[in-house]
Amino acid sequence: MNKRLRILTLAALVPIGTAACDENSTGPADGESTTELGVNADMELQVVGDADLAEVLIDDVSLSMASPVDGPPFGTGRDCLRDARQLLREGNDEAARTQARECRMNLVRSVFEHRGEEVIDEWFARVENLIERLGEAGDEFARLADLETKLKGLLEEAYALRDGGDLVGAGERLVLALQIADRMRHRHPDFDRDPGAVVRLAMARSGEAIRLAERLIPEPTLKQETLLFRAVELRRRAQFSLEHGWYRRAVAQAHRAEQLSLVAVLNGERPTVEDAQHLLALADEMIAAAELAIGDAPTEAQQRLLQLAVRLRNRGAEAINNWQWRGVALLWRSATTAAVLIS
């Protein structure tokens, strides 16, 4: 069986909701709506109140295990996060914050006990890659400057905790950072205006990301194959969410699939000079093909995406020329954005 077929077959064998102990895990959590806070409210508390993001966290963390896991700790993690939302609804903000942090700690601890430091390194890479491309993400996230400050602060806390030997604490800060980014993504005005369009673009990017990753790693290591399996599975769940109109959940799942595809390309390691050169060449190839695909009379939307791909490519090239290897995140987003215009 070839590698692509094997990955897709594995994904097909994982039922929607494996992480949730029931088949409704990618739908609204037990019919419970998000405890909505204003976009300018404390970002961490916004995450605490978001039932959709609780489910995305459970999905992502459970898939971080080496094999699909049902039941505890993920069922109890869901209950724990539900209790935190209840505290928030009752006006006990600090108790809700503390409860939610303990929930995340328990989830991270379970994965860490199963996979060790490798999973913490992966989350560091995902947050670092995310921060790297925020400069060209004004059309994606609400409160972009505040978000960048918050994510950098959480990353610094995670570094300090890791240096002090608290890897679980570091992991908790990192998964919170990913959740906050998801929250600010679906608080952007574009999401309010046309959430379906935002999700469809995220789905297209994640699909292209998986396709490009498979092309770049025709003979994947076991780690890469596992990462690609998780990306395929998250995208499959995003499609399920989209079909049911659960747009918040879908956009978060799709973006996480795109993130994991880049981690797979890098084999879960820090990017090398060779990685950077390959991704720069890929971005150039995709941009050139996109220009041909849209021709001389592109729509406004096509022109906007192409311009974004070029800006991302140029910022990424500048970063790697200055030995800032996280510029590969910009190049990856450039390539996936341009690839959407080709398909």
Rounded to whole angstroms, the Cα distance separating 226 from 207 reads 17
Q: How many residues does the chain have?
A: 343
The conformation of residue 326, written as its DSSP 8-state character, comes to G
Domain boundaries along the sequence of the chain: 3-270
330 and 315 in contact (C-beta within 8 Å)? yes
- CA 99 centroid distance within chain: 23
25 and 154 in contact (C-beta within 8 Å)? no
- Which tokens in the block code for residue 82? 């539900």
Q: Per-10-residue mean pLDDT for the chain, 343 residues long?
A: 47 42 39 66 94 93 68 71 95 96 96 92 94 86 94 98 98 98 91 91 97 95 93 96 95 96 91 92 98 94 95 94 87 97 90
What is residue 270's predicted lDDT score, i.e. its pLDDT? 84
Scored b (16 or more CB within 10 A) or e, 108-131 reads bbbbbeeeeeebbbbbbbbbbbbb
Whether pTM > 0.85 for this model: the answer is yes
235 and 202 in contact (C-beta within 8 Å)? no
Which amino acid, residue 211? R
Q: Which residues contact 145 (CB under 8 A, 6 or more apart)?
A: none
The conformation of residue 288, written as its DSSP 8-state character, comes to H
